[in-house]
């Protein structure tokens, strides 16, 4: 396990893809040196909206803490999936 900046044990909830040197799909302008999905960046030159590709579903189950947060959020919003 890795320690974070506060010397606490930190395990990320999900592995995320990081891309280097993201460019606009329309004009080619450099938008970011490094970005982690999910991301949405609007190009300041051509105003095109650039987004990360949807993440593939993982077979790894939620941790207990993440599952509890999900259920609590669904109950607060009245989502029937709770």
**Per-residue model confidence (pLDDT) at position 81:** 55
Q: What is the pLDDT of residue 82?
A: 47
Q: Mean pLDDT across the stretch 57-74?
A: 72
Phi, psi of 68 (to 5 degrees): -65, -40
Please write the tens of the pLDDT for every residue from 3-61: 666 666 666 677 778 889 999 988 999 999 999 888 899 999 999 999 887 655 556 66
Average pLDDT over every residue of 67-82 = 70
Helix (H, G, I), strand (E, B) or coil at 2: strand
Confidence of residue 76 (pLDDT cuts 50, 70, 90): confident
8 A C-beta contact, residue 45 and residue 71 = no
Residue 66: pLDDT band with limits 50, 70, 90: confident
């Amino acid at each position: 396990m890795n320690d974070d900046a506060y010397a606490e044990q930190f395990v990320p909830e999900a592995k995320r893809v990081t891309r280097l040197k993201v460019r606009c799909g329309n004009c080619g302008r450099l938008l970011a040196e490094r970005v982690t999905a999910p991301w949405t960046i609007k190009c300041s030159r051509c105003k095109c909206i650039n987004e990360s590709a949807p993440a593939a579903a993982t077979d790894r189950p939620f941790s207990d803490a993440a599952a509890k947060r999900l259920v609590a959020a669904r109950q607060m919003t009245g989502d029937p999936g709770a």
